[in-house]
Structure 1
Amino acid sequence: MKVTLGQYLASIRNDRKMSLRQVEEASGKEVSNAYLSQLENGKIQQPSPTILNKLAEIYGIEYTTLMELAGYLPPASSREAGDRHGRVATFADHNLSVDEEAQLLEYLQFIRSRKRT
């Protein structure tokens, strides 16, 4: 199941412990809290690259990730050549504690062990 742009933005905002209004203020009111809410709820699925760039700056995340999720760029796996296996961890942009990271790895092992049987 692929994460949507809205789900990803909401997850990052919550990880940064920011309210919709705080993001609006941090953007210099370029991104209104109502617009961001619509983005996060999937009502707006392809915001302008300018909005995505501003959100990437505020959250400290990769602009290209947002461009991919909005459908402006193909997934990195189809753009990159070489033998690269896998992809960047889904939660790489989140501020995980050591304990949370360990629990995610443990859960990943559990999921993989279920697939083998």
Structure 2
Amino acid sequence: MSSSGLACLKKLAVRLDWRCRATDDARSPLSAFAEETVKPTLGQYLASIRQDRKMSLRQVEEASGKEVSNAYLSQLETGKIVQPSPNVLNTLSEIYAIDYIQLMELAGYLAPSAARKATQRHGRVATFAEHNLTPEEEAELMKYLKFLRMEKPP
């Protein structure tokens, strides 16, 4: 990893540690920044998961029995299609072994879970599960992960 990549990772770790130490009623310095960020889109999330599974668009198409074409998946990942059918979401959740309900929420079919407010932190990113990340923090981690993956030699 490059020195600039390590520096970014260290800054992120400091931010996360600072965020985790903040009490519920105290605003951390990261909170103002986090409010300006957005939750990952369905397309960004699907692209991140596919890359994590080291699958090509064509491999997903084959795994779906051609139910989801590589062109359609590409349009989903780039945001040209924002609300695929629940059947497509179910197929992708099975291929990627991810939560179908979360995909339905990201696609706008279901309201986000009432059990967790948008400002509450959660632990969906396994590496940082103990940090109980907010959706904004998760979005930033996904952006950083994408950045790191672009730096890796093939």
1:88 aligns to 2:123 (yes or no): yes
Given candidates 40, 62, 66, the residue that maps to 1:29 is 66
TM-score, scaled relative to structure 2: 0.55
Q: Please identify runs of 4+ aligned residues in structure 1 that moved more than 4 A.
A: none
Gaps of 5+ in 1: 93-100, 106-110, 112-117
1:46 aligns to 2:97 (yes or no): no
TM-score, scaled relative to structure 1: 0.71
**Partner SS for 1:52:** helix
How big is the shift at 1:24?
Answer: 0.0
- Counterpart-to-counterpart distance in 1, 2:96 and 2:40: 17
Q: CA RMSD in A?
A: 2.1
Per the alignment, residue 7 of structure 1 pairs with: 44
Deviations 1:14-52 (Å, cap 9, x if unpaired)?
Answer: 000000000000000000000000000000000000000
Gaps of 5+ in 2: 1-37, 132-136, 138-154
Which of the two has higher C-alpha Rg?
2
Paired residues, what number? Answer: 91
**Partner SS for 1:28:** coil
Given candidates 50, 62, 65, the residue that maps to 2:99 is 62
